[in-house]
Amino acid sequence: MNSTYEIMVLADRKAVVVLNASPAVLAAFDVDFERGLDAFAAFAKANPKTTVLLQLGYEHETPELAAHLGGVVGRFRDAAPGSRVVAMGNSEKECAALETAGVETRLIHQNCFLDERRYRPMGRKRPYDAAYIARLTPCKRHELMPTEIADRLLLMGCATKIYDSERGYADMVYSRYSAARIMPTFSGARISEYLGMAKCGLVLSAREGASFCSSEYLLCGLPVVDTPALGGRSTLYPEEFVRYVDSTPDSVAEGISHWVRERPSPWKVRAAWMDKAASHREAFRRLMHELTGRRIGRPLHKLGLRTPHPGGMHSLAIQAYLALRSVVSK
């Protein structure tokens, strides 16, 4: 296996980002790390002292999932002795569970890598009581939305074509909330404009990861209505701008009504999130300095993982090529 080539292929798919060339520091989501484990291990074996930083796309607070990741990391260590894996946990509970499973972990919330320059409060009239950014899939629990205000709901997301199981669920959502404004597709560059039409944001799943949308709402000035969940999304919530509710339509309706009445300053909501994210960004900078001996600037939006970079569709592949060429030439 040509380890450099294999990592470059993963970079082209946005499944890995090279954060530093020498010593090599790679970043990937846990699922991509597991799928490409042989490529990561081969690269790390060829480039001693490689570190892989893991983003956690799904909750690892439960012992079973923490232990599973511990096993994946153990196989990597066996294949590439001397290399290092650090998971970036989204909650203190998640960090504790992973440390128990033998995974080195730092509390660095996934959402701190959102580039706030992409988001800002907009809109004044805000005709919708609530917005929900979520794929039309059962785990997102759209059925918890109150049907009596369907005409004042903004639903952003669609079913994924590759999952047949989502189609029936999507049909249910379209039928039950036919009066809502449903946007199956939307431009990420206009997300501030769309969210500027709503008074609050909804997060209704019971288990997932950190949920980028939970912080995107806040960066756009929307307070949040949230149900109990595993995955650590609440870590970056400013407590004064989140309404925790039970997992029932009546309770969600109460949470929405609260923010319709209160209407906090969007800029105060945004500033409060920025204050919460600051310590996680600093923790990432300290970790990178520890690993490389260098001070880093602003990381890519979402660390450049699974998302196009503003520089163009192939910019991450080019970045990986240049960085990795520097590694293998030494």
Q: What is the pLDDT of residues 223-252, one digit of tens each?
A: 999 999 999 999 999 999 999 999 999 999
Residue 96 has pLDDT above 50, yes or no: yes
pLDDT in the model for residue 307: 78
* Burial group, residue 261, by CB count within 10 angstroms (0-12, 13-18, 19+): exposed
Which residue in the block uniquely carries the two structure tokens 């917005």? Answer: 131
CATH C-level class of 116-274:
alpha beta
CATH 3.40.50.2000 residue spans of the chain? 116-274
**Residues 51, 28: Cα–Cα separation, whole Å:** 11
Where is average pLDDT lowest: 69-83, 160-174, 232-246, 279-293?
A: 160-174
| pLDDT range class, residue 319, cuts 50, 70, 90 | very low
Q: Would you state the pLDDT for residue 328?
A: 44
- Between CA 36 and CA 295 the distance in angstroms is 29
Point out the least confidently predicted range of 7-16, 65-74, 84-93, 201-210.
7-16
Residue 326 predicted with pLDDT over 50: no
Task: Give residue 118's pLDDT.
Answer: 95
pLDDT (mean) for 52-81: 97
**Does residue 305 register a pLDDT over 90?**
yes
pLDDT at 309 over 80: no
Buried b or exposed e, range 4-23, using 16+ CB within 10 angstroms:
bebbbbbbbebbbbbbbbbb
Count other Cβ atoms within 10 Å, centred on residue 165.
10
The identity of residue 168, as a single letter, is G
pLDDT tier at 71 (50, 70, 90 boundaries)? very high
Where residue 10 falls among pLDDT bands split at 50, 70, 90?
confident
Tell me the mean pLDDT in the region 271-276: 98
257, pLDDT greater than 80: yes
Distance between CA atoms of residues 102 and 96, nearest Å: 10
Residue 232 to residue 207: CA distance in whole angstroms: 9
Is pLDDT larger for residue 11 or for residue 193?
193
How high is the pLDDT of residue 266? 98
Q: What is the pLDDT of residue 155?
A: 97
Structure tokens at 116: 């706030």
pTM of model > 0.85: yes
Q: 311 pLDDT band (50/70/90 cuts)?
A: very low
Burial of 303 (0-12, 13-18, 19+ CB in 10 A): buried
Average pLDDT in the chain? 90
